Structure 1
């Protein structure tokens, strides 16, 4: 009888591994975005190898927009560090700077499209131009979703719902924004290399 009780004590259930469900959804979303762009860049390489490919120089504004997006990522990291230290004024300022730089990035991408049109590179026509518009357009769409996430984080910051004991929202926002920055750097280098 004593042996049975001993066995039961030794086999207590282990606590399951727990993950924040919102963070889990975010990571699933990021993986789906990676798969989307991996399939698109693979299709780009396959189509490029078939020939009938117009080569064109990427407008310089895309270089500048890359610098703007990197600066926005730095500001986002500043926001995260400010939240960890309960520096609410800096937190609000840093998220606001990130948001404004995100808008500037989108405007610069649109200006880049206008410069492509001036170079006779259109969405319809040669596949190289089509792919360029699709890549930058899809990334721009995800930047818009990132701006929406930034607005929710900024609203929460003004309500003092983001602080050292409640970092989930700013962690999600920071992760997503840094991901968008890394994704753009990947696309930028890819397009420079294979255009």
Structure 2
């Protein structure tokens, strides 16, 4: 019986290590698929804009604030990455919390931006909708949907940190969260610049 238990332990450890080894490649595969999704959407946006009946809209100024918030959140996420490598748990927790709060602030400014777009007559569907507005809202909504995943990952990372499950030698969860969060930051900056210059 004792020999069986000893045999199971190495097996479980091997399985855990295999999962950890696969985590980062799987994340990158997911990121590539998201890039392809948004590349397809922005390409379709360009093609449709050339077909006429395209309402030119003004991006709400609050989306500039959204952009500043998400760029700042990437900096605080980077700070968390550096801090955990030095076993500075207090700074790591503060940086993760700030990143989370900035993420929620990004959501709020996006909501306000949508309201301002509606005031301009930009709707997703209905009698008064236009293809330009529909594309804009789909792109913004899909980015927010992926941001939701990022916020959940941040909450999980912060919770695990507070439970002392991370250290300088074992911080894969924070590293994966950081990669995804930085990607969302870059993606939004690209989308914002695309929508700003190609309306």
Give me the TM-score of the superposition, normalised by structure 2: 0.87
Which deviations, in whole Å up to 9, do the C-alpha atoms of 1:49-73 show, x marking residues without a partner? 1011000110000001100000110
- Work out the CA distance in 2 between the residues paired with 1:27 and 1:160: 27
Aligned-residue offset at 1:156: 1.1
Give me the TM-score of the superposition, normalised by structure 1: 0.89
Structure 2's unaligned 5+ residue stretches are 1-17
Structure 1's unaligned 5+ residue stretches are 1-17
2:150 aligned with 1:146, yes or no?
A: yes
Aligned-residue offset at 1:128: 0.5
Counterpart of 1:102 in structure 2 is 103
How many aligned positions are there? 178
- Work out the CA distance in 2 between the residues paired with 1:112 and 1:141: 16
Q: Which runs of 4+ in 1 moved over 3 A?
A: none
- Work out the CA distance in 1 between the residues paired with 2:124 and 2:146: 19
- Work out the CA distance in 2 between the residues paired with 1:68 and 1:188: 13
2:100 aligned with 1:129, yes or no?
A: no
- Residues 1-195 of structure 1 correspond to what in structure 2 (within 5 A)? 20-124=21-125, 125-195=129-199
State which structure, 1 or 2, has the greater radius of gyration over its C-alpha atoms: 1
Which deviations, in whole Å up to 9, do the C-alpha atoms of 1:5-45 show, x marking residues without a partner? xxxxxxxxxxxxx9820111101100010000000001001
Q: CA RMSD in A?
A: 1.1
Which deviations, in whole Å up to 9, do the C-alpha atoms of 1:118-168 show, x marking residues without a partner? 111111211100011011100011111000000110011101112111021
